[in-house]
Amino acid sequence: MVNPVLIIAVPLLIAFLMPFFNYIHKKLPAFLALLTTAFNVLVISRNFSAIMSNPMVIEIGGWQPPFAINLYIGPLALLAITVINVVGLILSVYNLNHDYEINDKFYLLFLMIIAGASGMVMTGDLFNLFVFIEITSVAAYGLTVFNRGDSYEAAFKYIIIGAIGSVFLLIAVGFTYASVGTLNMAEISHLSPNLSPNLMRIITLLFMIGIGIEAELFPLNLWVPDVYSEAPTSVTSILSGAVSVAGIYALGRIFFTLFQDPALFSYLMIIGVITLIVGELVAYNQENIKRMLAYSSIAQMGLIVTIISINTSEAIAAGLFQLINHSILKVLLFISAGVLIKAAGSKKIEELNGLGNKKPIASLGFSIGAMGILGVPFFNGFVSKLMLINSTLNAEKIIITGLILFATIVEIAYYLKVVQKLYFSNRDKKVFKTANIFIPVLVLTIFVFALGIYPELITNTLNKAASELITNTEYITNVLGGM
């Protein structure tokens, strides 16, 4: 057994040593980032079965949980950190061979995002959650401007929206502390049923504003299209594939574990449905391929939030599966799209015509990602969409079933438009030289088909994670030990 606290500590340590390693050799930071993320995945895999059978509570500094910060890793957190760190590992492989000018500072911030997102997922302390959210966001602000060009405006917008969100998050943390008298999540969830419902609603809405920034919920996601279209490819991929997972996880912790109030789920569902509809409709009209993927990402987050807010264990398991699939597919789509954009020299979908023969790997990667999002059989998206529709029908939410099907039709329209441009038109313009992305595309494709053909790989974990969210008594007794 290796102590999982290293998942946060090692990337932070290596991150701040990056300038030093860069001084020794220019190529060293890229390989060290790869080694660090590989180390994280190794730590998780060594602990996987132990955590599955028994959730792990780690006391930092040897103080008992209610008095000091503790980490909590149950099946849900395990699922989220696995996704975050595997995405980080795949992107580190991609970073070895990239199209952008990146240096040691890039890897510094990249490792900080991974440490911050893992910390958001593992922490058992509310203020610690705030700090990790800020670590993740500040690193993301910095990474956004790596491409120069229009990225400064995107970064400014992101900073303003992110900072307003962090103010609301801090107010929420302060109100929680003032009303409950503790910052330990288990103790808050133990004491929160005594709070007055109105106070609880105000606190939860403040949390929703604060965390909705990371989770890309509707009124707060104005930064997403700009940042996703201007930031370097691997930054876009990690924001979409890892940070949004951490955001949804934090949202789930607040709504399910900390403050259990059925009335709150209807707010969450309304926000989710609006996010889904707006995202899909705006994505349909986009001419810029990265903006299209960004709006598609927003729509998927809306879908996941909607499904999770149905609050049955079946629906939550389906939503989590969709979240994992979304991470895999969006990383695949973004790195393929990055190569296609570089090859065409433009972000316009029109300009991508006929690249199917010139850039076979990237085009195939994009097509596989698109099929996965649409839910073609044998792709992972098919299984999760089936589970989504099944769970909405069982919960008798026919309107949401209709919405999912409607969203799929819109998705077919705009994803197949790109695939058609790639394969069924001729290229008469110049094709630029691009980086080789064979290994990341291969690994992600294996994931896509493995989960699509044999979903039993993770259904057990999903069900355990869903039951962890639905009832918080196990969480409380695990941390506080029946105090």
Contact positions toward other proteins, by CB under 8 A? 127, 131, 134, 138, 141-142, 145, 150, 152-157, 159-160, 162-164, 166-167, 170-171, 173-175, 177-178, 183, 226, 230
- Residues contacting 20, CB < 8 A, separation 6+: none
Closer CB to other proteins, residue 169 or residue 215?
169
Assess contact for 372 and 453: CB atoms under 8 A.
no
Buried b (16+ CB within 10 A) or exposed e, 152-175: eebbebbbebbeebbebbebbbeb
Output 227 or 248, the one with its CB closest to other proteins.
Answer: 227
CB of 79 to other proteins, least distance (A): 28
State the minimum distance, in angstroms, from the CB of residue 166 to other proteins: 7
Nearer to other proteins, 127 or 449 (CB): 127
* CB of residue 348 to other proteins, shortest distance in Å: 15
Which three-class secondary structure state does DSSP give residue 149? coil
Where do we find the tokens 């699939």?
325
**Smallest distance, Å, CB 317 to other proteins?**
35
Looking from the CA of 157 toward its CB, the CA atoms found within 13 Å total 17
Q: At what angle do helices 360-374 and 438-453 cross, to 10 degrees?
A: 30
β-pairing, 70-73 vs 56-59, is: antiparallel
Contact 296, 446 (CB under 8 A): no
Burial class from Cβ neighbours inside 10 Å (0-12, 13-18, 19+) for residue 338 reads: buried
Q: Tell me 242's DSSP state.
A: I
Tokens describing residue 387: 């589970």
β-partners of residue 70 are 59
CA 308 to chain centre: 15
Return the number of the residue (101 or 150) whose C-beta is nearest other proteins.
Answer: 150
Select 18 or 173, whichever has its Cβ closest to other proteins: 173
Please give the backbone phi and psi of residue 313, each rounded to the nearest 5 degrees, phi first.
Answer: -65, -35
Phi, psi of 311 (to 5 degrees): 65, 40
- Smallest gap from Cβ 172 to other proteins, in A, equals 10
Max Cα distance, the chain (Å): 72
**Smallest distance, Å, CB 135 to other proteins?**
9
Which of residues 200 and 310 has its CB atom nearest to other proteins in the complex? Answer: 200
- Tokens found for residue 216: 């890309």
Minimal distance, residue 223 CB to other proteins, in Å = 10
Question: What span, in angstroms and rounded, lies between the C-alpha atoms of 10 and 449?
Answer: 32
**Nearer CB in complex with other proteins: 162/338:** 162
Query: Residue 159 CB, nearest distance to other proteins (Å)?
Result: 5
Count of beta carbons in the 10 Å neighbourhood of residue 135:
19
CB atoms closer than 10 angstroms to residue 98: 21
Per-state percent for the chain, helix, strand, coil, to nearest 5: 80, 5, 15
C-beta of 153 vs 350, nearer to other proteins:
153
Instruction: Output the smallest distance, CB 19 to other proteins, in A.
Output: 18
Nearer to other proteins, 144 or 296 (CB): 144
Nearer Cβ to other proteins (178/439): 178
- Least Cα distance to 80 among 72, 90, 69, 70 occurs for 72
The least CB distance from residue 272 to other proteins, in Å, is 24
Considering only CA atoms, which of 308, 317, 257 is closest in space to residue 471?
Answer: 257
d(C-alpha 359, C-alpha 3), whole Å? 43
Q: Cβ-count burial of 399 within 10 angstroms (0-12 exposed, 13-18 middle, 19+ buried)? A: exposed
**Which residue, 141 or 255, has its beta carbon nearer to other proteins?**
141
Smallest distance from other proteins to CB 443, Å? 33
Give dist(CA 185, CA 421) in Å, integer: 50
CB of 474 to other proteins, least distance (A): 27
Distance, in Å, from the CA atom of 403 to the CA atom of 281, rounded to the nearest integer, reads 12
Rank residues 270 and 281 by Cβ distance to other proteins and give the closer one: 281
